[in-house]
Chains A and B, each alone.
Chain A
Amino acid sequence: MPVDHGWLVLGAETAGLATACAMAAGLPLAWVLENRQFAGKRAVSAILTAAIALPAPLLIYLLVSRSLTLAGMWAAGLVAVQPLLARQMRAAFAGVDRSYGKAARSLGVPERLVLARVELPLVWRAAAGAVAWALARLILELAAAVWISRLRE
């Protein structure tokens, strides 16, 4: 009897998309939180911290109690890993020697390049680790949700 791995593939695809989106938003957010002073910075930090407590119950609500949709899965995945990714990347940026950024800015390097060309190469290992961890966790959670959903059908 052929084994249906569709639930796993679907979970992996959705997890990949959610992780990519979470990283795309989380990386600049983490960098801004670590390098910039602005009104509401503490509030954003607090929301990120509070959001870490949300994922498990929220995922259950989004994936199991309601009808399962791709958009719902993606949103749930994003909510689940975004705060953790952002926090991990912020910790990674905090570990970067500030002299690199100082030197770059004084040489006229714009902020986006300070992030992309100067500081990102220093945290890529931390970034890769965070992405791998987020991906693994999401694949498991989302695939399990798809599987449970199919069982209920």
Chain B
Amino acid sequence: MTSVRIVIGRLDVDFGVEPGVTAIFGPSGAGKSLLLDAIAGLVRPDSGRILLDDAILFDAATEVHLAPQRRRAALVPQGDSLFAGMTPKQNLMFAARRYPRLERHRRVAETIEKFQLTDSSPRLLWVIARALVTEPKLLLIDDAGLDAAMLREIRENTPAPVLLASRNLDLCCAADRMMVLANGRILQRGTPRQIVDRSESLEVARLVGIANLLEATVGALDPSRNSSTLDFGHFSLSGPYFPGHFRGDRVRVAVAAENLRAHPGDAAPGPNYVPLELVRAVPRAQSVLLEFSFGVSVALSYSDYAPRKDNRSWLVEFPPEALRIL
């Protein structure tokens, strides 16, 4: 079992580490790097316990604090950390120095082959290979400028669990699991899909970039028909039944921009179709974000947007299942 339960200043976390990649997502100053440093043994926590494969790395009660050299938790820090005065290959040899000479050469050659490393490979890939040549029990990656392709390579080339701290939501969404860390506390844990689609709090929704966080009043609730009515002031929407809420409650409704649909204004209106005025269209990497009146945003793929870009009027569809109350 690998688990981390530590307190360092205002950082207070308790979680288990499972095989695969676990992303720690959070804004700058959330405590991500401090958490990784503590697991690596570079910072001593005030209290708590860190277990790695049932071995105690840190235990405040018994004053166990293993040196970083003995933890087998390899850290890929922020920035370029290839050691100066050595070639990238010498970096790998240096990292593998605890193995006998022949074994060392074999491991380095295998690692270079696995990652298909050449002189022109990104230095970050060399740093990751250097960390993995030591066969760590846990790989810690700190906001190092990784991309999804590199993450895939890491996943394929190590059986060790990976803890990845990053502010890059797209990268974190490529992980198997995700934790949202803010102000030293874990706000939510789950799969990236769960966190993005079912954010449990306004703070998480804001952090994961849910575009639509709209204030509404619960107009009606009918558990027998599994339905509700939400009044947004300028328009009303039908939604599913929301347990734990009462008629008249002021609530915050979260809807991901990707879950809304935008139709031409002359389309036949259906349930939860709302005529809205387009304020502007913001091009993004994969889609166009259409910003409508009343703070409603809809993400459209470029292929869907192209034939409609000259639309003067729009109908925005709010699928009932996409509405969530935070």
Interface residues of A (CB under 8 A from B): 97, 99-100, 102-110, 117-118, 121-122
B85 in the interface (beta carbon within 8 A): yes
Check if A107 sits within 8 Å of B95, measured CB to CB: yes
Q: Which of A97, A108, A121 contacts B69 (CB 8 A)?
A: A108
Identify 12 new A-B residue pairs, CB closer than 8 A, beyond the known A102-B68, A106-B131. Answer: A97-B79, A102-B81, A103-B131, A106-B41, A106-B71, A106-B74, A106-B140, A107-B74, A117-B86, A121-B83, A121-B84, A121-B85
B32 in the interface (beta carbon within 8 A): no
Query: In the complex, what residues of B have CB within 8 A of residue A97's CB?
Result: 79, 81
Tell me whether A105 and B69 are in contact in the complex, defined as CB-CB below 8 angstroms, given that A117-B94, A121-B84, A122-B84 are known contacts.
yes
Check if B94 sits within 8 Å of A106, measured CB to CB: no
Interchain residue pairs A-B with the least CB separation, the first 3: A121-B85, A99-B77, A106-B75
14 contacts between A and B (CB under 8 A): A102-B40, A102-B75, A102-B77, A102-B81, A103-B76, A103-B77, A105-B42, A105-B68, A106-B73, A106-B74, A106-B131, A107-B95, A107-B134, A117-B86
Check if B95 sits within 8 Å of A102, measured CB to CB: no
Interface residues of B (CB under 8 A from A): 37, 40-42, 67-79, 81, 83-86, 94-95, 97-98, 127, 130-131, 134, 140
Shortest CB distance B88–A (Å):
13
Tell me whether A108 and B75 are in contact in the complex, defined as CB-CB below 8 angstroms, given that A100-B81, A103-B81, A118-B83 are known contacts.
no
Q: A109 to B94, alpha carbons, bound, how many Å?
A: 9
Q: A102 to B131, alpha carbons, bound, how many Å?
A: 12
Check if B42 sits within 8 Å of A107, measured CB to CB: no
Q: Work out how many contacts link A and B, with CB atoms closer than 8 A.
A: 65
Query: In the complex, what residues of A have CB within 8 A of residue B37's CB?
Result: 102
Query: In the complex, what residues of A have CB within 8 A of residue B77's CB?
Result: 99, 102-103
Shortest CB distance B157–A (Å):
17
Residue of A nearest to B39 (CB): A106
Query: In the complex, what residues of A have CB within 8 A of residue B134's CB?
Result: 107-108
Check if A103 sits within 8 Å of B127, measured CB to CB: yes
Q: A139 to B93, alpha carbons, bound, how many Å?
A: 42
Query: In the complex, what residues of A have CB within 8 A of residue B68's CB?
Result: 102, 105-106
Shortest CB distance A118–B (Å):
5
Check if A103 sits within 8 Å of B75, measured CB to CB: yes
Q: A121 to B84, alpha carbons, bound, how many Å?
A: 6
Shortest CB distance A38–B (Å):
13
Q: A100 to B127, alpha carbons, bound, how many Å?
A: 11
Q: A42 to B247, alpha carbons, bound, how many Å?
A: 64
Residue of B nearest to A108 (CB): B69
Check if B74 sits within 8 Å of A99, measured CB to CB: no
Q: A122 to B225, alpha carbons, bound, how many Å?
A: 70
Q: A109 to B95, alpha carbons, bound, how many Å?
A: 7
Check if A110 sits within 8 Å of B83, measured CB to CB: no
Tell me whether A100 and B69 are in contact in the complex, defined as CB-CB below 8 angstroms, given that A107-B74, A107-B134 are known contacts.
no
Q: A97 to B84, alpha carbons, bound, how many Å?
A: 11
Q: A106 to B40, alpha carbons, bound, how many Å?
A: 6
Residue of B nearest to A120 (CB): B85
Query: In the complex, what residues of B have CB within 8 A of residue A108's CB?
Result: 69-70, 72, 95, 98, 134
Check if A117 sits within 8 Å of B83, measured CB to CB: yes
Q: A104 to B95, alpha carbons, bound, how many Å?
A: 8
Check if A99 sits within 8 Å of B83, measured CB to CB: no
Query: In the complex, what residues of B have CB within 8 A of residue A117's CB?
Result: 83, 85-86, 94
Residue of B nearest to A122 (CB): B84
Residue of B nearest to A101 (CB): B42
Query: In the complex, what residues of B have CB within 8 A of residue A103's CB?
Result: 75-77, 81, 127, 130-131
Shortest CB distance A35–B (Å):
11
Shortest CB distance B241–A (Å):
51
Check if A99 sits within 8 Å of B79, measured CB to CB: yes
Query: In the complex, what residues of B have CB within 8 A of residue A99's CB?
Result: 77-79, 81
Query: In the complex, what residues of A have CB within 8 A of residue B75's CB?
Result: 102-103, 106
Q: A62 to B27, alpha carbons, bound, how many Å?
A: 60
Shortest CB distance B150–A (Å):
17
Q: Which of B72, B83, B85 contacts A104 (CB 8 A)?
A: B83
